[in-house]
Amino acid sequence: RITSHNPRTGEQVGEVVIARPEDVRDAVAAARKAAVEWAALGPEGRKPHLKAFKGAIVANLDHIVEVVQSETGKHNDDVYLGDISPAVSLIDYYIRKGAKLLAPQRRGTWPFPWKKAWVERHPRGVAGVISPWNYPFGIPIEAAITALVAGNTVVVKPSDVTPLSGQLIADLAEEAGLPEGVVQVVHGRVEAGEALIDSADIVHFTGSPWTAKSIAKRAAETLTPVILELGGKDAMVVLDDANLDRAAKGAVWGSLFNAGQTCVSVERIYADEAIYDKFLAKVEKEMDKVNAGAGDGSDIGAIIGPSQLDVIERHLSDAVAKGARIVTGGLPGEGPGQFFEPTLVVNVDHTMDLMTEETFGPVMAVMKVRNEQEALELANDSRYGLHGSVWSRDKDRRRRFASAMRTGTVAANDVMINYAIPSLPFGGIGESGYGSNFGPEGLDAFTYPKAITDGRVTTPREAWWFPRVGGRRVWRTLVRAIARK
């Protein structure tokens, strides 16, 4: 069995049965059987089920918050903002737009004007969703929603750190009356994940690049497509004409939300030297307003476990050893659970792990830069490429800078907002992964295109069929005509 513990208190909150590899394969077989009828319903036929699923989520908000909090130690607001609200927005978006997004698309047929052509999107079959602990309800249910809308059935393997939050998905699907086998949850560790990769028709994984590489390698054995949503080292760039009050507030929230355990959190900040001191003073003032600690009044939730606390402490120790200065915080928080003080670090550079590796904690690292060009070069100096933000009062300037950032998503004068907008694709480049969730692109990722041609008129034969006619001169004339089109 897998036991789950509350990082705020260390107390056990529940346990689940580990699925054997054969149990996982049985779940996939049941999902594959259900996939035939689920796909046959079509987008409009699936819509009532999706509405019922959304209704079940909304009807159980308090229970969802309670379970997720008990396993993660999150602040109440962080559960609503990070786990629940994006999921409800996404399913609502697809209920309204899904049928149109999945509708067949007419295509031109030149140089064969007597033909018709269109492209259909078809589900891949069974989607295996392997999800992380930082948003243990939101991330897997969002992937499941996208897969379901596209006509797939789903088998979810939640993180073994937060199994109860993942189990909610199966419970809600059952409450909503979804057909048997359409949504299932299996629990386990490496063996269960491997069995799911081996048997699913498409795999959606959210987690570390290191695990993703193993998954991609294993999936390649069966040529199973994978969608990889991985880590980030997201840069916030504050230009010399930025609204510093707003930027400081955004920096603090973007760094500390969910105790910094978010793949799109602000992990590194570059501030122009012309406004660096003023910006830093405003950041310190905003950090003073944040209530930290283990009590009910704290704004900052718990750190998920000792291993994550170790990463935070190692990154800070490395930075200090190389010349960084901790302005505030820098120590584990008080209390029986696992907490870390909101921390502000300056005098940082790219020789430090704090500026190059994913820290995943409530830490702000601020670096002074000479100008906009240096800020862009440093922001793009990362093997990750998930999210970033740029802050400027000049609309053209900030949009030009956003376009030049090497990331899958960028927010101008804001942080992390993209994830909350369901029409936008979410995904990265480099070691932040590939493939997308959300928006039309999410449905594209969970389907395959089928190109179909038909004739506008029926003729006895096509001109190029046997026996050959026309010869080289005819074909040369035809190719030149095509080239002039």
What does the pLDDT look like over 30-89, one tens digit per residue? 999 999 999 999 999 999 999 999 999 999 999 999 999 999 999 999 999 999 999 999
pTM for the whole structure: 0.96
Q: Is pLDDT above 80 for 485?
A: no
Phi/psi of residue 325, each to 5°?
-125, 130
Where do the domains of the chain lie? 2-230+435-448, 235-417
431 is catalytic: no
Q: Average pLDDT over the chain, rounded to whole?
A: 97
- Block residue for tokens 């930027």: 247
The domains spanning 2-230+435-448 and 235-417 adopt the same CATH topology:
no
Q: What are 43's two structure tokens?
A: 């987008």
Set 71, 229, 267, 341: catalytic member: 229
Strands 325-328 and 447-455: unpaired
Q: What percent of the chain has pLDDT over 90?
A: 94
Set 71, 142, 263, 357: catalytic member: 263
pLDDT tens-place string over residues 254-284: 999 999 999 999 999 999 999 999 999 999 9
**Which residues are registered as beta bridge partners of 364?**
344
Q: What percent of the chain has pLDDT over 70?
A: 100
Annotation: CATH topology of 2-230+435-448: Aldehyde Dehydrogenase; Chain A, domain 1 (3.40.605)
Q: Which CATH architecture has domain 235-417?
A: 3-Layer(aba) Sandwich (3.40)
374 is catalytic: no
Q: Is pLDDT above 80 for 296?
A: no
Which bin fits 363, alpha (ψ -120 to 50), beta or left (φ > 0)?
A: beta
Q: Is the dihedral of CA 274, 280, 283, 289 positive or negative?
A: negative
